[in-house]
């Protein structure tokens, strides 16, 4: 009631999805069961209490958006290639970057760099 037009942005993690043996869909999955079809939020399967807490955040935000017609974006960040792969070590030009700036870097990368050099963690956005 204080700011109904606000848009919440929540940073989650790809760990919320676990490691399913099916493609991870963007947000929703259409399923048919016992002759009936519905579109449901993609089932998340966290493998730790941390990931479960992020899943609960996502579920609570989804409920709040439905109940109070709020706007939210739920971003799930993940490492695409990790530190190295067989392909990236084959040539120096293929080594992954470690971006920590405000444009390409993730919040986590920025926090790690700031902590490593003894700089206070900065939250903005």
Q: Over range 75-81, report the average pLDDT.
A: 71
Domain range list for the chain: 1-78, 79-125
CB 13 within 8 A of CB 77: yes
Q: How confident is the model at residue 49 (pLDDT cuts 50, 70, 90)?
A: very high
**pTM to 2 decimals?**
0.61
Point out the residues that are catalytic.
13, 50, 54
Identity of the highest mean pLDDT range in 82-86, 95-99, 116-120: 116-120
Percent of the chain with pLDDT over 90: 34
DSSP-derived secondary structure letter, 81: S
CA 67 – CA 12 distance, rounded (Å): 21
List, in order, residues 6 or more apart from 38 with CB less than 8 Å away.
30, 31
Which residue(s) pair with 36 in the sheet?
Answer: 33
Q: What per-residue confidence (pLDDT) applies to 34?
A: 98
The pLDDT assigned to 104 comes to 66
């Amino acid at each position: 009631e204080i700011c109904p037009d606000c848009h919440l942005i929540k940073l989650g993690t790809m760990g919320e999805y676990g490691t399913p043996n099916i493609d991870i869909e963007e947000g929703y999955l259409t399923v048919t069961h016992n002759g009936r079809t519905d579109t449901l939020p993609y089932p998340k399967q966290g493998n730790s209490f941390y990931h479960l807490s992020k899943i609960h955040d996502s579920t609570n935000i989804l409920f709040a958006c439905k109940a109070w017609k709020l706007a939210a974006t739920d971003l799930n960040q993940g490492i695409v290639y990790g530190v190295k792969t067989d392909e990236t070590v084959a040539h120096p030009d293929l080594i992954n970057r470690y971006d920590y700036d405000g444009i390409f870097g993730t919040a986590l990368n920025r926090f790690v760099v700031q902590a490593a050099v003894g700089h206070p963690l900065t939250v903005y956005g």
